[in-house]
Amino acid sequence: MAKSKLTLFIFFYFAVLYTVKLAAADQNNEPFVGVNIGTDVTNLLSPTELVSFLQVQKITHVRLYDADQDILKALSKTKIRVIISVPNNQLLAIGSSNTTAASWIGRNVVAYYPETVITAIAVGDEVLTTVPSSAPILIPAIESLYSALVAANLHTQIKISTPHAASIVLDPFPPSQAFFNQSLSSVMLPLLQFLSKTGSPLMMNLYPYYVFMQNKGVVPLDNALFKPLTPSKEMVDPNTLLHYTNVIDAMIDAAYFSMKNLNVTDVVVLVTESGWPSKGDSKEPYANIDNGDTYNSNLIKHVLDHGGTPFHPEITSSVYIYELFNEDLRSPPVSEANWGLFNANTTPVYLLHVSGSGTFLANDTTNQTYCIAMDGVDSKTLQAALDWACGPGRANCSEIQPGEACYQPNNVKGHASYAFDSYYQKEGRTSGSCDFKGVAMITTTDPSHGSCIFPGSKKISNKTKAIANTTQTSDAAADHRLRRRFITLRGNQMSATTNALAFSILLLIIPFMIIC
């Protein structure tokens, strides 16, 4: 009898382990938003500073355009998941030699995994369209790297694929008529077969911005930006009667239909790049802060709310936003240097509106930000902006008058910062309210000092402890409401995981009840 009880206990024990493993896998399969990290940046943060910044911003997935060893070291033990890349100029060597491929895996993967959570290897970038001469070597390079992963017993943990430009898909709308450029069939078919066999994603760089710019008058701007549309403005696929309310869903489905035309139906699309520039020259008037904010904010919501696509509502593609920082060293046009969510000094280019859609990015309207004068601006220009803020802008400038709390330091920059922040907070921290003709910037660091408390500060005066206690209570209540809101919004997404864990606990209890 005791032996049978022990056998039963062992059975239940392993059932619990299996169920917990399933629950963890379910959680890991949740769609996510990551960021691309380009390095054409003056005074780029050190690897340690970069990783600390990622952690502060709650960024959990990143893509590198190489396999920078210092960054990989800095990512160790952080649980931040990273895609590393083989630059295009290394494809020939790796595709021509299994030894070189094995050496690359040993140097850039085995040396860091699992302390640094490498999830995938992107082999080249848009090889078929930017360096077509390297197309014949792409599949051999991928297979050589995969063989090296197999030898290291890492092939189930780390996926291998290659990012493509959207232009490899021809006739993309309606999506049901889309197909891969047939001149690329000798590469695409074996690639898709490899991705299917290894459970790897089809990596696509998808930019509704360029679709809109190339099809103005046909594609509505609102459709590109995820803005609500009237039914008459929705794009309808005449073959499937599926309605498309945004451009990126149509682009993703075009890739799915293109794969289907090659009889591949079990490969998931991973969007390795997507974004919208915040600044452009006269030829790119739609590259501006408001559109960049709107696109990326709505993209994040779409992913974290499990938006799916009309063709595959059950599958939500994860997305890497292009990109983390504005790359000021990029060549013209102006937009090339202005795809970032942040400036090189880590101040946000704009405030994303993603509160309630998850915990991705501290750079959103749930966090306190301030508007201050930029460094290095001449006093005359600052004075003009200060005069406007305190005059037509109707900022509250009483605290920077002689004898008041924010009069010191008595200089234009200090007074301008206070006036700018007063205006910015009064306007509800909306996009464009911290500009002042380019002399102001947004910061997450409270500029209050001494007895000078800036308008947007969460600091409180010590006039009475009662006021302090009341404020703290209301802040705690607000935090509680935010947490409750987050739990409610994510409830459906986590239900499978929660149910599995609950079942695990039940299985763990039953044996003890039987034995006892």
Which is the catalytic residue, given 273, 323, 327, 399?
Answer: 273
**Taken in order 193, 198, 199, 200, is the CA torsion positive or negative?**
negative
Beta strands in 267-367 (DSSP E): 269-274, 319-321
From the CB of residue 466, how many other CB atoms can be counted at a distance below 10 Å? Answer: 8
Interatomic CA distance for residues 185 and 177, integer angstroms: 17
Which is the catalytic residue, given 49, 126, 143, 284?
Answer: 126
* Secondary structure of residue 159 in the 3-state scheme: strand
Give yes or no: 284 in active site: no
Are the beta carbons of 299 and 361 closer than 8 angstroms?
no
Can you read off the two tokens belonging to residue 71? 């960054």
Give yes or no: 327 in active site: no
Beta bridge partners of residue 164, listed in sequence order: 204
User: How much helix, strand and coil, in percent to the nearest 5, is found in the chain?
Assistant: 45, 10, 40
* Ramachandran angles phi, psi of 62, nearest 5°: -135, 155
Tell me the residue type at 12: F
**What DSSP line would sit under 20-50, residue for residue?**
HHHHHHHHHTS--EEEEE----TTPPPHHHH
Assess whether the previous peptide bond of 409 is cis (omega < 30° from 0).
yes
Q: Which residues are catalytic?
A: 126, 273
